[in-house]
A and B are shown apart, each in its own frame.
Chain A
Amino acid sequence: MALDIRIPIGAMFAIIGLLLFVYGVFTAAGPRVYEKSLSINVNLWWGAAMLVFGLVMFYFGRHGNSSVRLAEESAEGRAMEAHEHSARLKQD
């Protein structure tokens, strides 16, 4: 259980971004769709931005360093767990 949070964020945004981008490409010809949004093809542009953001997040999630460590890897974490464990035992 040490899933880097950037991986699900990256995956989700890349997928949604891609969906919006492709939809933006296909609807670009019919300008009436974008009358609401001041004639800007927001699906295309915002989809592209989200796709880039998602890919960057995903890349760093896979390759970057996460500073999060499991509790048992540090003295403080072990002390915390021991404390919680004994508190539980006393209560039960």
Chain B
Amino acid sequence: MVFVGLFMMRFYYGSRARSVPEYLRLRFDEKTRGLNAISFAAMTIFSSGVSMYAMGKLFNLLLGWDFDTSMIIAATIVLAYIFLGGLTSAIYNEVLQFFLIVCGFVPLVFLGLRDVGGWDGLVAKLTTVSTAGGYPETAYTQSWAFMGDPSQNPIGVEVFGLMLGLGFVLSFGYWCTDFLVVQRAMAAKSLADAQRTPIIAAFPKMLFPFLVILPGMLALVVGTGAVAVKPDGSATQTASSSTASADSTRDRKGEDETVTNAASTNTFGRGIIPLKIDAATGEPLVDARGRMVLDYDLATPMMLVHYFPAGLLGLGLTALLASFMSGMAGNVTAFNTVWTYDIYQSYIRKGASDAHYLWMGRIATVFGIALSIAAAYVAASFNNIMDLLQLVFAFVNAPLFATFALGMFWKRTTGHGAFTGLVAGTVAASIHHGLSLADGAVVGIKGGYLGIMNTYPSELAQTFWTAIAAWTTCFVVTIVVSLLTRPRPADELKGLVYSLTSKPKYTQQVWYKRPALLAVVVLTCTLALNFIFF
């Protein structure tokens, strides 16, 4: 967020582009824009599908409707919501939803922490969860200490994959190139405001883990599914068979016990997190290695139901629904903008009347929602919806970040280079994903469709390396092809490339409004937080 604010915003804002694909047209050419518009449209469908899936699950959990009905009702609500509101209402809604989410989650974290005996109590209880899963004692409460070895931390990722895959490629890719993020700043009233937007947003973003990660940690230790507390060790067995531990060594008997346990009480896999139920059979899902799969997507709703009395529960669930709805509406709106403006108007039918494009936009909204339903069923097959989102970002945003980084900071980059780089990056992502598989995953949508050459300890590790492969390929191919093709003359690139754009001066501004100073403060705080939770 700091990088996009300090270094990239002046090109987005200064080029007066209305969308990210439009910037690519100005900097490179039509074909790069077209490609990006198509891949972006696909990405928004997945993102809105994920929100829709979450919404459907919430209806399913709260109202007891079956999953298919829940999905259709969720889709209808969002369709009505998008047709009734415009961009202004969307922006107002987002601000309201932000406060609503904070208001819904603060009491949850407060009650949860109070229940387990504060932070120290949480750390102590998570120790038993960690050791039951075969991890070091503080594996759940330290962010960096156990990253050296993927078998020592619950996400199964090693430090290089984490830093390069998530820290560099995926986060830069998302925050620097995602239209949904950049669009907000494009609407700012001046360049200085546009630059400050992501940097100021980074302040509350730093604190959000306390609202969204803490409930997840609490969900592991509260509730009826007591973990590793019985002296005879039976609960330990339950816990280890249902975790994604790399070295689970139970025998068949232990696993059968777990299944009957779960079926008879129909309750919890671990802490308050329930077992994932196969929608088709109604039985708990089991992965390829016979381990029970936990339904992590239900952690927060279960926490709300566990702690909130009638009254506040309504607020908490409204907050959740609001965030899913805004996520879906934002993505479907972005889809119909990009489809209508960057694809339909540019390539399919030029020069039609405004009324025609408006009509097309509405058709696109309906189609976008229909496709989201399909994407939601894909989401249902993933370990948790965050894994799916990261995978989609690895295919789309990861190579795109290489294109942007080169396009903005190296004036020699050409349109042919950018286009071939993007294609090569996405192809590389598919090849890598097709040749690898996460431990315990089934060949198919989760990879391995081209044969299995490499097995990763977790889906996240596989995704991070997919992103690294995509980024590196795009970066190298773009440079090579650019050097082989003719560059555009420098005067055409003014305002689009770093070395040809004058730097804005903020010396006349009040100190707390200067982007660079705000950036230093944000980065210092982030560093401090990393040391505290090292």
Contacts and interface: CB of A to CB of B under 8 A. Distances in A.
A and B pair up: yes
Contacts of B190: 76
Given A20-B315, A69-B189, A1 B309 contact: no
Nearest to B16: A83
B308 A36 contact: yes
Given A9-B96, A13-B99, A42-B107, A1 B88 contact: yes
A27 B310 CA distance: 10
Given A1-B88, A71-B189, A80-B16, A46 B312 contact: yes
Contacts of A77: 189
A5 B92 contact: yes
Contacts of B103: 13, 46, 50
Contacts of A91: 345
B351 interface: yes
Contacts, number: 69
Contact of A38 (B18, B111, B310): B111
Interface string B64-91: 0000000000000000000000001000
Nearest to A33: B309
A37 B308 contact: yes
What band does the interface of chain B fall in when counting residues whose beta carbon is under 8 Å from A? 20 to 34
A69 to B, nearest CB: 7
Given A20-B312, A27-B311, A37 B111 contact: yes
Contact of B111 (A9, A20, A27, A42): A42
A25 to B, nearest CB: 11
A23 B345 CA distance: 53
A46 B107 contact: yes
Closest 5 CB pairs of A and B: A43-B311, A23-B311, A42-B312, A33-B309, A46-B107
Given A3-B92, A5-B92, A38-B114, 7 more contacts: A23-B311, A37-B111, A37-B308, A38-B111, A68-B189, A77-B189, A92-B351
Interface of B: 16, 18, 88, 92, 95-96, 99-100, 103, 107, 111, 114-115, 189-190, 306-312, 315, 345, 351, 354
20 contacts: A8-B92, A9-B95, A9-B99, A16-B315, A20-B315, A27-B309, A33-B310, A34-B309, A36-B307, A37-B111, A37-B307, A37-B308, A37-B309, A40-B111, A42-B107, A42-B309, A43-B311, A71-B189, A76-B189, A84-B18
